[in-house]
Structure 1
Amino acid sequence: MNEFFAYGEKVPSYDIRVLNEREARAAAAILFVGAFLGLVNGVMLGTAVFSKYFVTFFAIDFTLRVIQPRYAPSLLLGRFFVRNQTPEYVGAVQKRFAWALGMVLAWPMFYYLVIDFQPNPLKVLVCLICMALLFFEAAFSICLGCKIFGWIKRKDPKYCPGGVCEMNIKEPVQKFTPAQAAITVLTIVVMVYGIYAYFTKLPDKTMFVKKMKVLMMSDAELQRIEDAKADAEFEADDF
């Protein structure tokens, strides 16, 4: 019974309980795809049905991760896809803290998107932050919650993703030459400007921008637009 409630797996040669980072990354990728599909459905089709189901799954999944990750659905799906890969073990305690942060974000989103559906810019921003965190973990094995855990504890936790807690010296292949650094910075600047230009230089010229503007509006703003349309139609009928 004690082993049932024990958090993480006991692996020989590791002095603390650990989890499989490959499994966690695969699960993050699966959830990112789900969140992206929900965003696309909301923006392009104007429906939040998929998002409501996904947010419900997301909240339950992260709650199970915090209680006992052995039974979290997304982690089990991730395990299926990486079952033939050599495990990469990371400390369970920092992953639990990171997933607890995800759970804290998930349940308010569940209430405001499923129970009391009231989309607004803040809620959309929270969804985008969740997507960014999932993407960073899936693509780069960067666990921001784990880093926050380290700052709170004021010392690096053991067995971080990619071995960043134990690595003190970078290999030559991990370092940037001045030319590589300049190209990287320029790439980031161009990407940021491209995103800015897309949303500001092309106002209302794409369906995506139009949908995003509507999605960002409050109920009061949407009601004012509807009232203005009704008034315009009423005046047109008078003529």
Structure 2
Amino acid sequence: MSYGKIIRNLEIEGKPAPYPVVNERGVRATAGIMFAIGISTFFTVMFTREYIFLNIVVITFWLDFFLKTVFQPHWSFFNIIGDFLVRKQKPEYVGAVQKRFAWGMGLGLATFMILGPVLFQIRGLMPLSICLACLFLIWMESALGVCVGCKIYKFLLDKKILKEPTHRPVCPGGVCSIKR
């Protein structure tokens, strides 16, 4: 079973796309939802010093990243909402593999946040930096359509650190142009 959705006879930018894809419009809507929740939680914690909201959101984000990285994007509850919000728009399909890599980065950041502030009650610069980095990456995806994780994936492919896929999938808007 492949990750993402394979659509028969799909062409992206005039080229065949026989690889698994995800709908970039839904991904960006999902990122926007997560950004709104994340930034609201950030300021709530900053002004009230009440960390229960942080704990709930970090665990929720971790679970969401886990579901969409380990299983499929359609298992993600934020993705379900994001896809619903863009359901009447024409889909913009992009490769699923680099999105999975980017979501894996999100899962890693959320794991650090669970270990630090949630489990061990670590406060200060370390969790603040991780939180701001995550919010910045989500903002880049939702507002600018730039998938930093996709760019890192391309870099790792170019440097032969990651195994070359059979087909190099298209990135959203050509921002990380994965071409041979």
Q: Same fold (TM over 0.5)?
A: yes
Please point out which of 162, 168, 173 is paired with 1:162.
173
Q: CA separation in 2, counterparts of 1:157 and 1:28?
A: 24
1:99-150 residue CA offsets vs partner (Å, 9 max, x unmatched): 1111111112112222221112011011000000000000011000000000
- Is 1:25 aligned to residue 28 of structure 2? yes
TM-score (norm 2): 0.85
| Aligned residues of 1:91 and 1:159 also touching (Cα < 8 A) | yes
Q: Work out the CA distance in 1 between the residues paired with 2:115 and 2:142.
A: 26
Answer whether contact 1:94 1:157 (CA < 8 A) is retained: no
Are 2:107 and 1:96 aligned? no
Cα distance in 2 between the residues matched to 1:38 and 1:116: 19
The answer to which structure has the higher helix fraction is: 1
Number of residue pairs aligned between Structure 1 and Structure 2: 163
Partner of 2:113: 109
Structure 1 counterpart of 2:163: none
Q: Tell me the distance in 2 between the aligned counterparts of 1:7 and 1:125.
A: 31
> Within 5 A, what are the aligned runs for 1:140-155?
140-154=144-158
SS in 1 for 2:170: coil
Give structure 1 regions of 4+ aligned residues with deviation exceeding 3 angstroms.
Answer: none
> Offset of 1:163 from its aligned partner?
2.7
Supply the distance in 2 between the matched residues of 1:102 and 1:46 (Cα, whole angstroms): 24
Percent identical residues: 36
Q: Secondary structure at the match of 2:94?
A: strand
CA-based RMSD: 1.7
Separation in 2 of the partners of 1:153 and 1:115?
35
Preserved CA contact (<8 Å) 2:168 2:178: no
**CA, structure 1 residues 17+130, in 2 after alignment: closer, same or farther (shift >3 Å)?**
same
One-letter code aligned to 1:31: M
- 1:157 is displaced (CA, Å) by 3.9
Bigger RCO of structures 1 and 2 (CA < 8 A, at least 6 apart): 2
Inter-partner Cα distance in structure 2 for 1:45 and 1:166: 44
Mark the runs of 5 or more structure 2 residues left unpaired by the alignment.
Answer: 11-16, 160-166
CA contact (8 A) 2:101 2:149 kept: yes
Shift of 1:59: 0.5
- The equivalent residue for 1:87 is 91
Q: TM-score, normalised by structure 1?
A: 0.65
**Does the 8 A contact of 1:150 with 1:157 survive in 2?**
no
State the distance in 1 between where 2:47 and 2:168 align.
42
Structure 1, unaligned runs of 5 or more: 168-239
